[in-house]
Amino acid sequence: MPIDRRAFIATSLSALPLLASRTIAAHAQNYPAHPVRLITDSGAGSAVDVTTRVIADGLNRVSGQQAVVVNKPGAGGSVAIHAAGTAAADGYTLGVVSLSAFIAPLGKADNLPVEVPRDFAAVGYLSGGAMFITAASWLGVKTLPELIALAKKQPGELAYGTNGSGRLTNLTGELLQERAGIKLLMVPYSGGTTKILNDVMGKRIPIAIDAFSGLAGAIKAGTIVPIAVASSKRLANFPDVPTVAETLPGFTAAGWQVLLAPAGTPAHIVNKANMDLNKALHDAEVRQRLDQLMREVQPMSSEETIAFIQGEQKKWKPIVTRVAEAH
C-alpha cells in the first residue's frame, strides 16, 4: 500500500513536541551525570564553608555524584560571583551566595549587588543563622526590654561592637535602633568578634551582636548573656531565649546563603537541582549537623527563593544606604 508522504510528515512533526519533552525529562533525570562545583566566597574552615560542606555531603548521597566545594574569597564576594556567573549554564557550576552580595551598595565591588532573576537562576535556599543580641554580664541587663529601657535613659552612650560598617552585625544594630526607637554607639572592629569580646571583658563594650558561632565560647563562659535571638521562632537549643520579635513584632535578622545557577541554565536542570537540594536538606544526618551549627533550614522552591531574596533586599537596602551615607 503506498505511503501518503504528507500524512507521514504531519504525523512525524506532531510527535516532535512529545519527543522533545521526553528528551528534556530524561536529561533532567540523568542530572547530574558528573561532579558539580559549588563556588563560595567564604574561606576554608569558616562557618559558611562548614555549613556548605555539610549540605554538599547530603547532595552526594541524594544524587550519587560528588558536590565539590570551591572556595574563592576576595573583593567582597565579587570574585566568587564572577566565577559562578560566567560558568557554563549547564548546572555543573553553582554559586553559594550570601546575603551581603544582594545588598552591597552600588559601586562597592564589581558584579555587586546581585539581582535575581537578572543575574542568576535561583536553585534554592541553603540555610541561615540568626543573629544573637547579647549583653555583657556586668551590665546587669537580662532581657531585651531592659536593654531598650536603659538605652533610652542613656541615648548614644551604650556601645555595641560590629565586624565592620555595613556588615550584618552593624545592620542588625541599626535595625534594632530603628525599630526600638533608641540610639546606640556603633564601634567597628577589624579583628572580628574575638576583639569585641575582649573589650566586653574589659568593660569597654556592653553589647555584642553576632551569629551563635562567633559568640558560643563567651556565652558558655558566662561573659555575655544572650537576651534575644533574631530568628522567626525560639531556637530548640535556646528555648529560654526570647526572639526579638516577641518585643519588636516582625523583627528578624539572619545571615543566609542560597544556591544559584548561571543565568540561562535550562529550567529542567534548575528544577532537578532544586529537588536534589531539598531532599538533601531533609536528610536526617544533614539536619542533625546543621542543628548543631545552629543553622535554620527552610527548603524552598526556585520561585520561593526569589521572593525570599527580594524580600530581604527590600528590608535591608534602606538601612545599607543609610549606613553608607553616614560613612
> For the residues 149-156, what does the mean pLDDT come to?
97
Residue 14, pLDDT above cutoff 70 = no
Least confident stretch, 82-96, 161-175, 252-266:
161-175
Residue 36, pLDDT above cutoff 50 = yes
Query: How wide is the angle at C-alpha 262 spanned by C-alphas 86 and 55, nearest 5°?
Result: 115
How sure is the predictor about 8, in pLDDT bands with cuts at 50, 70 and 90?
A: low
pLDDT at 24: 47
Residue pair 205/161 in contact by the 8 Å Cβ criterion = yes
Residue pair 225/137 in contact by the 8 Å Cβ criterion = yes
pLDDT at 3: 54
pLDDT at 190: 73
Residue 309, pLDDT above cutoff 60 = yes
Domains of the chain: 34-128+254-326 (3.40.190.150), 130-246 (3.40.190.10)
15-19, 170-174, 274-278: which is most confident = 274-278
Least confident stretch, 6-15, 50-59, 79-88, 316-325:
6-15
74 phi/psi in degrees, rounded to 5: 130, 150
> For the residues 219-227, what does the mean pLDDT come to?
96
> For the residues 186-215, what does the mean pLDDT come to?
89
For residue 207, CA distances in Å to 33, 89, 149, 156 come to 50, 45, 14, 13
pLDDT at 74: 80
pLDDT at 4: 66
pLDDT at 203: 96
Residue 27, pLDDT above cutoff 60 = no
For residue 121, CA distances in Å to 35, 55, 128, 268, 277 come to 19, 19, 20, 12, 14
pLDDT at 110: 79
Whether cis (ω within 30° of 0) applies to the bond prior to 32 is yes
> For the residues 201-229, what does the mean pLDDT come to?
93
Cα of 265 vs its chain's centroid, Å: 22
Give a three-class secondary structure readout of the chain.
CCCCHHHHHHHHHHHHHHHHHHHHHHHHHHCCCCCEEEEECCCCCCHHHHHHHHHHHHHHHHHCCCEEEEECCCHHHHHHHHHHHCCCCCCCEEEEEEHHHHHCCCCCCCCCCCCCCCCEEEEEEEEEEEEEEEEEHHHCCCCHHHHHHHHHHCCCCCEEEECCCCCHHHHHHHHHHHHHCCCCEEEECCCCHHHHHHHHHCCCCCEEEEEHHHHHHHHHHCCEEEEEECCCCCCCCCCCCCEHHHCCCCCCCEEEEEEEEECCCCHHHHHHHHHHHHHHHCCHHHHHHHHHCCCECCCCCHHHHHHHHHHHHHHHHHHHHHHHHHC
Which is more confident, 45 or 276? 276
pLDDT at 16: 57
Residue pair 121/306 in contact by the 8 Å Cβ criterion = no
Beta-carbon count within 10 A of 221 CB: 11
CB-based contacts of 1-5 (< 8 A; 24+ apart in sequence):
none
Residue 277, pLDDT above cutoff 70 = yes
pLDDT at 12: 59
Residues 87-138 have pLDDT tens digits of 999 999 999 999 989 998 877 777 889 999 999 999 999 999 999 999 999 9
Query: For helices 193-201 and 212-221, what crossing angle results, to 10°?
Result: 30
Q: What percent of the chain has pLDDT over 90?
A: 65
Residue 258, pLDDT above cutoff 50 = yes
Query: What mean pLDDT, rounded, does the chain reach?
Result: 89
| Grid-cell match 531565649, residue found | 241
